Structure 1
Amino acid sequence: MPSITVGMAMGLLIVGNLIAVFSDALIKTLGEDTAVFQFVFFRQLTAVLILLPFCYGVSKKSFTDGLKWHALRAHIWLLGAIFMVFAINAMPLATANAIFYAAPLMMLPLALVFFKEQLTRYSISAGVLGFMGMLVIIRPTEIDWAAIAALIVALSIASNNLLIRKLPKHQTVAQTLLLTNLAGIPASLGLALWEGRKWDWTPLITAAGSSSFILIYAAICVIAYRSAESNKIASAEYSGLLGAVGVGLIWFGETPDFAMVLGTAMIILPLIWLARIEKNKAAMNPELSE
């Protein structure tokens, strides 16, 4: 895969996060009586069907490479997908997304511990300010189950993005996503059967739409995090919060208040600041952008 600059990786993540918001919006249209495990199974099933044509002709041998890492990511992704359905349907879209965007902050210590990445004062500052902005938005007076569910989603996103570094680099993006979804299907099917609800195929179209948007986001994450150190680009994940505010306002009538505007500014401005710092570094030393 061709290398890309830090700035380009951050730009891709911005686009990816804005697209991912529409996946969340589709989940929010589900009724409260929807069988959650069935819906998550439908998402994975439709994701596999979407990805299969893009993997036609790929060597069978390459499908076994890195299988343990694909399986680990699959089950972390499955856990996050389940709690995402709960969180999105229990709180405003922008609020849920604000908590999801604790993921970049979580990635900083995880990258330090597991990948020995050197954290810069700029990336730490951007992450801390973004986290403070998240607190301004949600104004936590108590931790309820919905907030805990959203934090589990954030942890799953952070872990999955970091584990991309463990995947074989010769595998295509489509192949990577297909293997991750295939590895998770047995568990998601088992949970759907254990749920004991009557099978209802009505949400299948919604699941397919949600899968399409989230696959674009996941593909962009694979490209971006394979190309640059996570601590340099993770703050770009916060950009999707703007999209969540806009979609929440237009689609669900969730009007942002002053705290939302202030918190969003605290999240986005450090992102712009960090991007400019990395751009200046790359201009002064071209080797850093390779």
Structure 2
Amino acid sequence: MPKISVGIAMILLIVGNMIAVFSDALIKTLSDDVAVFQFVFFRQLTAVLILLPFCLFSQQQGFFHGLKWHVLRGHIWLCGAIFMVIALNAMPLATANAIFYAAPLLMLPLAMMLFQEKLTRHSILVAVFGFIGVLIVVKPTQINWAAIAALIVALTMAANNVLIRKIPKHLNVFQVLLLTNVVGMPAAFALAWWEGQPWDWSAMLTATGSTTFILIYAGICVLVYRAVDASKIASAEYSGLLGAVAVGILWFDEVPDLSLVIGTAFIIFPLMWLAKVEAKKKRLLKQFDAELS
């Protein structure tokens, strides 16, 4: 596994979140009467088709080690995908994404409980400011079923990212993503069959595009959360909100209001401050090591 610094990990997460916005935007183009379970099954099917060629030429030894963790993450991923379609079809893109970015705050207690990670006062402070920003964007008095669906998405994102640490280290990114989607396909197909809607294969093209973007994001998450403590980099997840605002304006004519602007400031500026603090800490550590040697 390549070594990744905190700074590089945060940059990768920022890029990943910007890319993930386009996956959300494609989902938002679906009609209101789309068969949700069927579309989610299409996403998982296209993910397997995209990933399979990369995995055929990878080392297969111990491919199914830690299968229980893949099964758990796969069904959490499936749950998140379902509620994401529901939330994005009912809310403005930037508003839905603002709620999704409650995930870094949820990751902090999860990482502490599962891996005994120590929370620094800086990471806690940034997470709290970020969550305040989310509340400003959402406006608690306007919380409805769509907002609840978005909060469930945030919880599934947090759980999936934290549980990456349970995945065997010898599996590469493509193998992890393939297993995550494969193990959830039976449940996805069963839900699509139970839904009882005629199969609409025209949605496959949208599913393919959405899957491609989200796989890039998920791959980055596997890479960085394996290498760096979640509490140190989780705040970088907030950065995609800027991309969601821009895409919402350009693609869906969703002009942000003042609360979105203020909330975004609460999310982004503390993130920039945290990056500066981490960089200073790294410089001091290097200086200290040099003095010892």
Is the TM-score greater than 0.5? yes
Give the aligned partner of residue 52 of structure 1: 52
| Deviation string, structure 1 residues 246-285 (Cα, Å, up to 9, x no partner) | 0000000000111111111110001011111111111111
Q: Is the 8 A contact 1:20 1:214 kept in 2?
A: yes
Give the aligned partner of residue 285 of structure 1: 285
- In the alignment, structure 2 segments of 5+ residues that lack a partner are 289-293
Query: Helix, strand or coil for the counterpart of 1:3?
Result: coil
Partner Cα separation in structure 1 for residue 3 and residue 287 of structure 2: 12
Give the aligned partner of residue 256 of structure 1: 256
Q: 1:255 to 1:2 in 2, by over 3 A?
A: same
Counterpart amino acid of 1:8?
I
Q: Note the 1:128-167 alignment, pairs <5 A.
A: 128-167=128-167
Counterpart amino acid of 2:144?
D
**Is 1:193 matched with 2:193?**
yes
Q: Is the 8 A contact 1:83 1:150 kept in 2?
A: yes
Give the aligned partner of residue 75 of structure 1: 75
Q: Is the 8 A contact 1:100 1:154 kept in 2?
A: yes
Give the aligned partner of residue 216 of structure 1: 216
Give the aligned partner of residue 118 of structure 2: 118
**Is 1:274 matched with 2:262?**
no
Partner Cα separation in structure 1 for residue 140 and residue 95 of structure 2: 11
| Deviation string, structure 1 residues 49-77 (Cα, Å, up to 9, x no partner) | 00011112234432211111111000000
Aligned-residue CA RMSD (Å): 1.2
Give the aligned partner of residue 240 of structure 1: 240
- In the alignment, structure 1 segments of 5+ residues that lack a partner are none
Q: 1:157 to 1:287 in 2, by over 3 A?
A: farther
**Is 1:38 matched with 2:70?**
no
Q: Is the 8 A contact 1:22 1:210 kept in 2?
A: yes
**CA drift at 1:143:** 2.8
Q: Percent identity among equivalent residues?
A: 66
| Deviation string, structure 1 residues 2-23 (Cα, Å, up to 9, x no partner) | 1110000000000000000000
**CA drift at 1:144:** 1.1
Counterpart amino acid of 1:158?
A
**CA drift at 1:137:** 1.0
**Is 1:10 matched with 2:10?**
yes
Give the aligned partner of residue 107 of structure 2: 107
Q: Note the 1:12-31 alignment, pairs <5 A.
A: 12-31=12-31
Runs of at least 4 residues of structure 1 off by over 2 A? 57-62
Give the aligned partner of residue 93 of structure 2: 93
Q: Is the 8 A contact 1:101 1:237 kept in 2?
A: yes
Partner Cα separation in structure 2 for residue 283 and residue 124 of structure 1: 22
Query: Helix, strand or coil for the counterpart of 1:130?
Result: helix
Query: Helix, strand or coil for the counterpart of 1:233?
Result: helix
**CA drift at 1:142:** 4.1
Query: Helix, strand or coil for the counterpart of 1:133?
Result: helix
Partner Cα separation in structure 1 for residue 43 and residue 287 of structure 2: 41
Counterpart amino acid of 1:186?
P
Give the aligned partner of residue 207 of structure 1: 207
Partner Cα separation in structure 2 for residue 192 and residue 131 of structure 1: 34
| Deviation string, structure 1 residues 129-159 (Cα, Å, up to 9, x no partner) | 0000111111120431111100000000000
Give the aligned partner of residue 184 of structure 1: 184
* Residues 277-286 or 123-132, more deviating: 277-286
| Deviation string, structure 1 residues 162-183 (Cα, Å, up to 9, x no partner) | 0000001111101110111111
Q: Is the 8 A contact 1:63 1:179 kept in 2?
A: no
| Deviation string, structure 1 residues 23-45 (Cα, Å, up to 9, x no partner) | 00000000011100000000000
Query: Helix, strand or coil for the counterpart of 1:192?
Result: helix
Partner Cα separation in structure 1 for residue 273 and residue 90 of structure 2: 33
Partner Cα separation in structure 2 for residue 30 and residue 287 of structure 1: 54
Q: Alignment length, in residue pairs? A: 288
Counterpart amino acid of 1:219?
G
**CA drift at 1:108:** 0.8
* Residues 166-175 or 138-147, more deviating: 138-147
Q: Is the 8 A contact 1:119 1:231 kept in 2?
A: yes
